[in-house]
Amino acid sequence: MASRDYSPNVTIIGGGMITQVQILPCVYQLQRLGLVGDIQISALNGAPLKALAENETLKRAFPGQSFTPFPDFRKVDPEEKFPELFNEVLQSMEPRNVVIAAVPDQLHYPVIKAALAAGQHVITVKPLVLKYAQAVEIEKIGYDNGLFVGVEYHKRFDDRNLMARRACREGLLGEFRLGQARLHEPWYYRHSNFQNWMTCENSDSFSYIACHYIDLTAFVTGLRPKAISVSGIVEKYPNGNEGFLYTDGRVIWENGAILNVQNSLSFPDAAAGGNNQGMMLMFRGEDMGALVSHEDQYRGVKHSCIRKGADPGDTIFSEPNPDYFQMVPTAGGGLRPVGYGYRSVEALVQAVRKMETQAAGASGDESLETRRRLIKALDEEGLLAAPANSAYNELVMEAGRKSILSEGREVVIEYGEKAGVSLREYP
Ligand SMILES: NC(=O)c1ccc[n+]([C@@H]2O[C@H](COP(=O)([O-])OP(=O)(O)OC[C@H]3O[C@@H](n4cnc5c(N)ncnc54)[C@H](O)[C@@H]3O)[C@@H](O)[C@H]2O)c1
């Protein structure tokens, strides 16, 4: 339970790609700094947990650090599935520690609800959930119980985006009018576990990654999306499942501005760099244009090596992005994560620590009031994404799905009492 030197234990639910490349290294680093306590990871089966425990980079980066796996891969068939085990793990946690949800998109809702029911603070990888009503429900449960719920939109911690937000909010850019954004993930993703869940009936490239630049445009400009249309191209994954592997989306904003967002799993494996992403937003003042232009994969670093690394997508010649997430040598041995991927996870964990530290020692009611006050303050500040200040993302998600399944018809977003999405009707 909360104390003055509150360092929460952390349970990560999901042991896949994002846990390996971002979440676990960040949590290990926070543990190294004494900011979190014990780490547990629960996955559907033992195989990914074994891979995490034996990952050479993680072992070299964090010597002597480890996590408790559920299921214990040393004792079960690595392929045997335990879909309900995460619930038992949650029940065994002391209340008011931290759960990080890193499961496929459609499982965020049940996992987050179960974590809140177990009295845990929650951090989730994006998207929070797939339905607006679920976001509203989660916001209420979190607030009522004084439990933090934060969404890991790491682009908010990229300094170039914070610079753009500041310039925009200080009136230096004028009004947003027209923009283009793109995020193309590598082709080899098609061979990964994506083929089992990012299929036409569950998700699509727009739902999976357009949310980053749509959230970012809202984060920078303060505008909310009011209509969406998305067209997609269906292709087969190697296992024969079908997915919308290329998408083109158009977002109309409340002031009439338009953002085009293109997404795909098609960036060549042979190309240097892990993806291709960026945006150009055109603004206007009284009688002049203004713009923000980002090459977000950043191509200013070039490495040409004598052999390629062991990870999927590694190339002999590479143009690594130093901004999102890298592991660099650190004093005392090992490697430490740097970049906005790390800063984002740290900021979310620090929000929980601040909440519990301020509430420490208070009686039940007083503690609840303190935690609720901090939840409201964070919502209003708007730097960390939370259900109350970023649920437009869930409306975008619903609208995007409706549109792509209706061959690109425009879907209108309503806010307020009657919040929801509907196909635009033409007279
Ligand atoms: N840029 C980003 O912010 C970013 C990038 C990648 C992934 N993500 C998000 O992270 C999430 C996971 O993506 P990923 O690429 O790691 O997927 P993945 O398929 O590699 O891993 C999913 C993990 O969830 C686990 N899981 C599934 N059902 C479970 C259950 N019932 N109980 C416990 N664990 C269960 C699986 O065992 C697996 O370890 C998705 O929501 C995705 O959108 C975000």
20, two tokens:
């390996």
* Backbone conformation region of residue 43, classed left if phi is above 0, alpha if psi is from -120 to 50, else beta: beta
Task: Find the 18 Cα to ligand 1 centroid distance in Å.
Answer: 6
| 64 burial via Cβ count (<10 Å: 0-12, 13-18, 19+) | exposed
Task: Find the 28 Cα to ligand 1 centroid distance in Å.
Answer: 18
The strand pairing partners of 70, in sequence order, are: 42
Q: Cβ(78) to ligand 1 under 6 A? A: no
- Position 164 scores a pLDDT of 98
At 313 the three-state DSSP class reads coil
What is the rounded average pLDDT of the residues 219-233? 98
What is the rounded average pLDDT of the residues 337-348? 98
CB within 8 A of 149, min separation 6: which ones?
112, 116, 121, 122, 123, 124, 128, 138, 139, 142, 386, 387
Q: Cβ(102) to ligand 1 under 6 A? A: yes
- Report whether pLDDT(251) > 60: yes
Q: Cβ(83) to ligand 1 under 6 A? A: yes
- Position 91 scores a pLDDT of 97
Predicted confidence band of residue 2 (pLDDT cuts 50, 70, 90): very low
pLDDT digits (tens, 9 = 90+) for 104-146: 888 999 999 999 999 999 999 999 998 999 999 999 999 999 9
**Per-residue DSSP letters for 60-75?**
HHSTT---EEES-TTT
What is the rounded average pLDDT of the residues 163-173? 98
Task: Find the 197 Cα to ligand 1 centroid distance in Å.
Answer: 10
Task: Find the 85 Cα to ligand 1 centroid distance in Å.
Answer: 16
The residue whose CA has the least distance to atom 2 of ligand 1 is: 126
pTM: 0.95
Q: Cβ(103) to ligand 1 under 6 A? A: yes
- Choosing from 12, 22, 24, 44 the residue with most ligand 1 atoms within 8 A of its CB, the one to mutate for a pocket test is 44
- Position 378 scores a pLDDT of 97
Q: Cβ(16) to ligand 1 under 6 A? A: yes
- Report whether pLDDT(304) > 90: yes
Question: What single letter denotes the amino acid at residue 290?
Answer: A
- Position 1 scores a pLDDT of 44
Task: Find the 196 Cα to ligand 1 centroid distance in Å.
Answer: 11
Task: Find the 315 Cα to ligand 1 centroid distance in Å.
Answer: 25
- Report whether pLDDT(3) > 50: no
Q: Cβ(406) to ligand 1 under 6 A? A: no
The mean pLDDT of the chain is: 95
- Position 206 scores a pLDDT of 96
Q: Cβ(126) to ligand 1 under 6 A? A: yes
Cα–Cα separations (whole angstroms), residue 262 to 48, 127, 178, 184, 205: 31, 18, 14, 8, 9
Contact 349, 123 (CB under 8 A): yes
With a pLDDT cut of 90, the percent of the chain lying above it is 89
Q: Cβ(355) to ligand 1 under 6 A? A: no
- Report whether pLDDT(314) > 90: no
| 136 burial via Cβ count (<10 Å: 0-12, 13-18, 19+) | middle
Q: Cβ(17) to ligand 1 under 6 A? A: yes
pLDDT digits (tens, 9 = 90+) for 347-368: 999 999 999 999 998 888 999 9
- Position 149 scores a pLDDT of 98
- Position 46 scores a pLDDT of 97
With a pLDDT cut of 70, the percent of the chain lying above it is 99
- Position 309 scores a pLDDT of 84
Cα–Cα separations (whole angstroms), residue 74 to 12, 19, 64, 172, 371: 19, 20, 19, 58, 40
- Position 266 scores a pLDDT of 97
Task: Find the 132 Cα to ligand 1 centroid distance in Å.
Answer: 20
Q: Cβ(125) to ligand 1 under 6 A? A: yes
Ligand 1 atom index nearest CA of 101: 11
Task: Find the 32 Cα to ligand 1 centroid distance in Å.
Answer: 24
Q: Cβ(18) to ligand 1 under 6 A? A: yes
Q: Cβ(71) to ligand 1 under 6 A? A: no
Task: Find the 104 Cα to ligand 1 centroid distance in Å.
Answer: 4
- Report whether pLDDT(176) > 50: yes
